[in-house]
Amino acid sequence: MKKFEVKDIRNLAFISHGGTGKTTLAEAILFNAGASTRLGKVDQGTTVCDFDDDEKKRKISISAKLINCEWKGKGVFGVVTPGYADFFGDVTSALHVADGAVLLVCGVGGIEVGTQKAWKEADKHSLPRVIFVNKLDKENANFYKTVDAIRHSYGNRCVPVCLPAGSEKSLSGVASILTGKGIDALTGDAKDRVQEYKTMLEELAAETDDVLTEKYLNEGKLSPEEIARGLRKGVCAGTIVPIFCGSADRNIGVSELMDGICELMPSPVDKGPVAGLEEGKTRAPDKNAPFSAFVFKNVIDPYTGNLIYFKVCSGTLRPNTDLLNATTGIKEKIGNIAIMCGKDQRQIDEASAGDIVVVAKLKGTSYNQTLCDPANPIDFKKIVYPKPSVAYAVKPKAKGDEEKIATGLHRITDEDPTLVAHRNTETHELVISGMGDLHIEIVLDRLKKRYGVEIDMSVPKVAYKETIKTKAEGHEKYKKQSGGRGQYGEVFLKVEPLERGKGFEFVDQVVGGAIPRNFIPAVEKGIVGAMEEGVLSGNHVVDVRAILYDGSFHDVDSSEMSFKIAGSKAFKDACSKAKMILLEPIMSVDIHIPSQYMGDITGSLNSKRGRIMGMEEEGDLKKITAQVPIAEMFKFSNELRSITGGRGSFEMDFSHYEEVPALIAQKVIDLAKKDHELAAKE
């Protein structure tokens, strides 16, 4: 691909619900542009984008891939994203660096959950977009029904610019509403709709410019050139969304889509300067400006090491250049620069504003960071990644593989921002959290292939907490004599409940030297230790005030250790009299589903002790907001997928702790005692 002026570059993210045909569309684009010599097939594992073994095996896209080609004098950089919710992090990354989006909608399935989610994410970035209604050659495909659904969901700014000639198996091509090319192939109702849609396009185009508005009002029509000029202005402003159509699998309508992308979608120049984190600081998309680039992805390649993907926001970069990582402050030296098309790299002599390129072997740079000219630093705004929705406790099947797991997970999280691995200090489990069961399954497959470690998974333990409901007093006289110096410490204390979330408060009310001042901190340490051990179920005690008011000591036998033990036991004694209860984490959950599943989902939430806090419309979808104990949410991802046929999605965040119902609390306590007894025997 030759070097292009910034104004002739189109950076696009291809987004949609899973299975809508983005990978197949990319194949047709590359083939038509002469960037590949054959049309690969997803089912045969021969596509440019789905080259990973996991993708070939499952016949789905797992991560975003880059494509590039030249189309009629324009340089097109595409980021082809996965459609499944488990890999939505790559959609977020792609939209952060794209100048526009191509949204695919299935001509059979219509507006699906993934479509809605992708559209909303594009809205967050105020991205111009076009729509491609795909799979019109399939049985039960209906272009006009799909257009009606699009306009219902996204408004009257969405208008067809071409129409399908034929339908289902008889689909033979597409007809342009603007130029009239192919109109003769239309029949019946399709031919009648041409003028209707052309009028819509004229009206929308006229609204973008005062001169066009005046002419349209005076003459009642615009020339094709004037409509095209108005459409481009409207598309770049986001006030018009053209709808294209066809079949990527049969390479119908793809060339017309590419013509539209190059004619209507914005270049980096049209998008304007990129804002930095520092207020008022920007970089213009000019190849002569100081260099700056945003890293949106990195991949650990088994042959070349860490590959850093970035979009050049300004300036020009050549090999062997020193740069500053403005996010971390680390200096980096750039070696070779390449552009990617699927897994193939092609070395280039320079990269400038608008280019999306790859470099290798940067030791201190990762996704969500900025590279720039050391003399002109700038740090760009960060990607906000979606939060994990499923979690599992993991441990190696073979003893001694703990280090392999830690190393493997560290490297995988280095390239996957939506995977979180952490050691839960309260439950002492290694927990991995991801976007769904498929996401976790692929992570475990990679751990096995790359690092030779097999893993057992289980539902994570809930990090319950313990607290008290009433005031109480406790006492302990710790006395031990076993030859030589003994141990002695006596502690009297009171406990009181604090407001939820206040943690722990220690009050020293000892008077008259009943306990020497140098032993008071030891009592507090003992209480803190007892709180960490728990009293009822081995979980942390929280929201308690401990008041130390009396005690006694021995001139010879008293020590820090004796008062630490006395403080611990006195605290447990007091808590056992203070009506202890268990607290459980409550999550705020947002669930997005088609309206027909409302009854099933609300019933499911009620069975999980959930409280529904609200419901609202989101286009064709319903959003349910609820509060649910985390103990009930570990299997919800699978349940939601089963109920909605994969058309539902959810996100959750920690909200607060609440008291566990007595019956459930007793089961938790009994189970904790059994686990403690088994551990003692081992």
What pLDDT digit, counting tens, does each position of 272-305 carry? 999 999 988 999 999 999 999 999 999 987 777 7
Cα–Cα dist 681/666, whole Å: 23
- In angstroms, the Cα distances linking 399 to 345, 393, 395, 403 are 41, 16, 9, 10
3-state secondary structure at position 569: helix
Instruction: Give this prediction's pTM.
Output: 0.86
Q: What's the CATH code, domain 395-458?
A: 3.30.70.870
25 confidence band (pLDDT: 50, 70, 90): very high
222 confidence band (pLDDT: 50, 70, 90): confident
Q: Give the pLDDT of residue 71.
A: 96
Task: Please name the residue ranges forming H helices in 473-559.
Answer: 520-533
Q: Give the pLDDT of residue 619.
A: 67
Q: Give the pLDDT of residue 679.
A: 65
Neighbours of 305 (CB within 10 A): 12
Cα–Cα dist 224/335, whole Å: 48
DSSP helix, strand, coil percent of the chain (3-state; round to 5): 35, 30, 35
pLDDT at 421 over 70: yes
Q: Give the pLDDT of residue 94.
A: 97
- Mean pLDDT (the chain, rounded): 92
Compute the average pLDDT of residues 666-676. Answer: 85
Q: Which residues touch 182 (CB under 8 Å, ≥6 apart)?
A: 162, 165, 173, 174, 175, 176
Q: Give the pLDDT of residue 133.
A: 98
Q: Give the pLDDT of residue 73.
A: 94
3-state secondary structure at position 394: strand
Q: Give the pLDDT of residue 600.
A: 94
The architecture in CATH of the region 294-334+347-372 reads: Beta Barrel (2.40)
Cα–Cα dist 572/476, whole Å: 10
Over residues 354-386, the pLDDT tens digits come to 999 999 989 889 999 999 999 999 999 999 998
3-state secondary structure at position 132: strand
The architecture in CATH of the region 6-194+237-271 reads: 3-Layer(aba) Sandwich (3.40)
Q: Give the pLDDT of residue 132.
A: 98
Q: What's the CATH code, domain 466-578?
A: 3.30.230.10
Of residues 111 and 482, more confidence is placed in 111
Cα–Cα dist 405/441, whole Å: 15
Over residues 119-137, the pLDDT tens digits come to 999 999 999 999 999 999 9
pLDDT at 342 over 70: yes
Compute the average pLDDT of residues 434-446. Answer: 91
Compute the average pLDDT of residues 158-186. Answer: 92
116 confidence band (pLDDT: 50, 70, 90): confident
607 confidence band (pLDDT: 50, 70, 90): very high
Compute the average pLDDT of residues 425-438. Answer: 89
Domains 294-334+347-372 and 583-663 share a fold: no
Over residues 479-507, the pLDDT tens digits come to 987 766 789 999 999 999 999 889 999 99
556 confidence band (pLDDT: 50, 70, 90): confident
650 confidence band (pLDDT: 50, 70, 90): confident
Q: Give the pLDDT of residue 469.
A: 94
Compute the average pLDDT of residues 606-628. Answer: 90
Cα–Cα dist 353/314, whole Å: 4
Q: Give the pLDDT of residue 159.
A: 96
Q: Give the pLDDT of residue 1.
A: 60
pLDDT at 674 over 90: no
Q: Give the pLDDT of residue 113.
A: 80
682 confidence band (pLDDT: 50, 70, 90): low
Beta-bridge partner residues of 316: 352
Domain ranges of the chain: 6-194+237-271, 294-334+347-372, 395-458, 466-578, 583-663
Compute the average pLDDT of residues 145-166. Answer: 94
Q: Give the pLDDT of residue 348.
A: 94
Tokens coding 523: 């009592």
pLDDT at 180 over 70: yes
583-663 is a CATH 3.40.50.2020 domain? no
